Amino acid sequence: MESTEKTTTGNPARAESIARGWAKRRANLAAVADWFEHPVCLCGCGEALARHHLERRQRRFKQGHDAKLKSMAAQILRNELGRDAMPEITKLMVDYIPFLEKHPELRKAF
């Protein structure tokens, strides 16, 4: 009797690419989780925020600093600032920034 079971060999380059992608995703999620443990203002000023035990209630900015980040995003879109002016943690937490729902055109700056 012949075995109808197929032996498949995967593409090693594709497997490595997928592994690198997942490693980067895990690292990004770890950075976001670390931010929630020790929150700082996402505008880039570095001021510490009071930690809230509920993630959805955690503040992302000091008072008025969301406007500072909006301005920075607009300047990046107008090529007045380079993309490296945006803090890395802010780029990772783009899904947590509330004003991007009202101004989706600013998302391109992140």
Q: Please say if the pLDDT value at position 41 is more than 90.
A: yes
pLDDT at 62: 93
36, 55 Cβ separation under 8 angstroms? yes
Domain ranges of the chain: 13-109
CA geometry: angle at 15 spanning 13 and 20, to 5°? Answer: 95
State pLDDT tens for residues 52-85. 998 888 999 999 999 999 999 999 999 999 988 8
pLDDT at 101: 87
Is the pTM higher than 0.75? The answer reads no
Looking at per-residue pLDDT, the higher value among 48 and 6 belongs to: 48
